[in-house]
Amino acid sequence: MDYFFTEEQKKWREKASHIAEQYLLPASIKSDEEQSFPAEIVEIFAKNDLFRVLVPEEYGGSGDTVLNLCLIVEALSRIDGGLALLLAVTGLATIPIASFGNEEQKKKYLPDIAAGKKLAAFALTEANAGSDVSAIKTRAEKKGDFYIINGSKQWISNGGIADVYTVFVNTDIERGARGLSALIVEKGTEGFEFGKKENKMGIRANPTRELIFTDVKVPVENLLGKEGMGFLIAMKTFDYSRPGVASQALGIAQGAFDLAAKNYVKMKKGKEEGDFQGMEFLLAEMATKIEAARCLIYQTARTIDSGAKNISEISSMSKLYASDLAMEITTDAIQLMGENGYIKENLVEKMFRDAKVTQIYEGTNQIQKEIIALKLLKKYLRA
Ligand SMILES: Cc1cc2nc3c(=O)[nH]c(=O)nc-3n(C[C@H](O)[C@H](O)[C@H](O)COP(=O)(O)OP(=O)(O)OC[C@H]3O[C@@H](n4cnc5c(N)ncnc54)[C@H](O)[C@@H]3O)c2cc1C
């Protein structure tokens, strides 16, 4: 399908595919098995300007678009969705600063993120606050010119390797979601420590850590927007970032499909025309659904890039459709490959494990359905 990409978009996609083949592929099995993060990947992404895509031009970025980031994340995830997460999460955590930060905050943090000198993380989830963001208990009390943070976050991607953390805290316990605020917290701040590293099913290359805050003193200048805007900042951020998760899912699905199709062609050699027609029909269905997901994601990204305001629904649809599809395609790819799909060296079982999380993070798919249904009901109530 011709998506009428500009020369620049083609360039980003080709560059990311080249990086994925040359650097991610050789690191894939080891980083998955050892659950280790290869630090040189940061340098490779930085040298190739991938982090610049996340940042506006005036702060050292390339001022690129959601579509460009989607193309890059898709191409990287086609080879390794876990290693691609480094960029996608830094993107997720950069959105609140780029969209809600003041001039000083943007000048202070964005150029280093763009240059790949500093990685970022997004810390919303807590032990008892996942889907229900309003249940956040990490407390930030204002004392003079500082906020004092106490509490903990769980399941934070880029945990420990990131330098800059956007942390969602409760600044007014009486007000539920309206009492949430977002603070920038730097690694190394006294009292800010990293706890348990999760032993995960998939995306094992990316460290998922607990963050612990004990009387962490953060200057009031680190508040993003205003007190009470935390919930809004988190939700608006997801509107922009969910096509990125969808692209990660799409890339994983495409990667698994490629392996299954290649395996099938090898198996089919020397067989009669018409043999295994059931498998060929399955491959045809898989390819059709992958292309449908691609259309939805690219069009969503283009809509967001156009400056459209009402993007929650399409953003959720992209994430919902592509992540469910990634599970379906990776499952079918293993089935098509039989025992070859079930062993680690052929990578498709890793893709199956990596795909699962795309149905969970940045809002589970049940939450995406709630968002879509709510928008639909509003539309039909007005009609
Ligand atoms: C590998 C990994 C990386 C992550 N990275 C980050 C990160 O970088 N930053 C961050 O802040 N968080 C991160 N998370 C957390 C992730 O966003 C949460 O796991 C997710 O939001 C779901 O929350 P929960 O796990 O507490 O599930 P729960 O909210 O407890 O949900 C459990 C189940 O109930 C369903 N459910 C809950 N509420 C509803 C409802 N209202 N309607 C219908 N069904 C519902 C859910 O869909 C789910 O199936 C990560 C998680 C994982 C697994």
Q: Is 356 in the pocket of ligand 1 (CB under 6 A)?
A: no
Residues 6 or more apart whose CB falls under 8 angstroms from that of 10 comprise none
Summarize pLDDT for 132-166 with one digit per residue, the tens: 999 999 999 999 999 999 999 999 999 999 999 99
Summarize pLDDT for 28-85 with one digit per residue, the tens: 999 999 999 999 999 999 999 999 999 999 999 998 789 999 999 999 999 999 999 9
Amino acid 277: pLDDT: 87
Which atom of ligand 1 lies nearest, measured to the CA of 168?
A: 11
Query: The tokens 């290649």 sit on which residue?
Result: 262
Amino acid 212: pLDDT: 98
Domain 120-228: CATH architecture, name and number where available = Beta Barrel (2.40)
pLDDT: which is higher, 119 or 271: 119
Residue 337, phi then psi, degrees to nearest 5: -90, -10
Amino acid 230: pLDDT: 98
Residues 20 and 76 sit within 8 Å (Cβ to Cβ): yes
The CA-based angle 135-140-142, given to 5 degrees, is: 140
Residues 6 or more apart whose CB falls under 8 angstroms from that of 332 comprise 260, 282, 286
Amino acid 276: pLDDT: 84
Amino acid 269: pLDDT: 85
Position 330 confidence tier, pLDDT thresholds 50, 70, 90? very high
Average of per-residue pLDDT across 109-133: 98
Residues 25 and 80 sit within 8 Å (Cβ to Cβ): yes
Nearest CA, atom 35, ligand 1: 366
Nearest CA, atom 38, ligand 1: 131
- Whether residue 244 is predicted with pLDDT greater than 90 in this model: the reply is yes
Amino acid 354: pLDDT: 98
- Whether residue 294 is predicted with pLDDT greater than 80 in this model: the reply is yes
Average of per-residue pLDDT across 234-253: 98
Which atom of ligand 1 lies nearest, measured to the CA of 128?
A: 26
Amino acid 195: pLDDT: 98
Q: Is 301 in the pocket of ligand 1 (CB under 6 A)?
A: no
Q: Is 361 in the pocket of ligand 1 (CB under 6 A)?
A: yes
Domain 7-114: CATH architecture, name and number where available = Orthogonal Bundle (1.10)
In angstroms, what is the span from residue 131 Cα to ligand 1's centroid?
Answer: 5
Amino acid 32: pLDDT: 98
Average of per-residue pLDDT across 266-281: 84
Q: Is 124 in the pocket of ligand 1 (CB under 6 A)?
A: yes
Average of per-residue pLDDT across 191-198: 98
- Whether residue 270 is predicted with pLDDT greater than 90 in this model: the reply is no
Which atom of ligand 1 lies nearest, measured to the CA of 363?
A: 21
In angstroms, what is the span from residue 357 Cα to ligand 1's centroid?
Answer: 10
In angstroms, what is the span from residue 132 Cα to ligand 1's centroid?
Answer: 9
Nearest Cα residue to 20 out of 41, 47, 51: 41
Residues 208 and 89 sit within 8 Å (Cβ to Cβ): no
In angstroms, what is the span from residue 68 Cα to ligand 1's centroid?
Answer: 27
Q: Is 131 in the pocket of ligand 1 (CB under 6 A)?
A: yes
Report the mean per-residue pLDDT for the chain: 96
Query: The tokens 């003079």 sit on which residue?
Result: 144
Q: Is 362 a catalytic residue?
A: yes
Amino acid 382: pLDDT: 85
Mutation to probe ligand 1, out of 361, 362, 369 (largest number of atoms < 8 A from CB)? 361
In angstroms, what is the span from residue 315 Cα to ligand 1's centroid?
Answer: 17
- Whether residue 267 is predicted with pLDDT greater than 90 in this model: the reply is no
Summarize pLDDT for 68-79 with one digit per residue, the tens: 999 999 999 999
Give, to the nearest 10 degrees, the angle between helix 81-100 and helix 103-114: 160
In angstroms, what is the span from residue 95 Cα to ligand 1's centroid?
Answer: 20
Element (H, E) at 208: strand 208-219
Average of per-residue pLDDT across 117-127: 98
What ranges do the domains of the chain cover?
A: 7-114, 120-228, 231-382
Which atom of ligand 1 lies nearest, measured to the CA of 121?
A: 8
Amino acid 383: pLDDT: 79
In angstroms, what is the span from residue 363 Cα to ligand 1's centroid?
Answer: 6
Q: Is 155 in the pocket of ligand 1 (CB under 6 A)?
A: yes
CATH fold, domain 231-382, is Butyryl-CoA Dehydrogenase, subunit A; domain 3 (1.20.140)
Q: Is 315 in the pocket of ligand 1 (CB under 6 A)?
A: no
Amino acid 355: pLDDT: 98
Global pTM value? 0.97
Q: Which of 58, 141, 362, 370 is catalytic?
A: 362
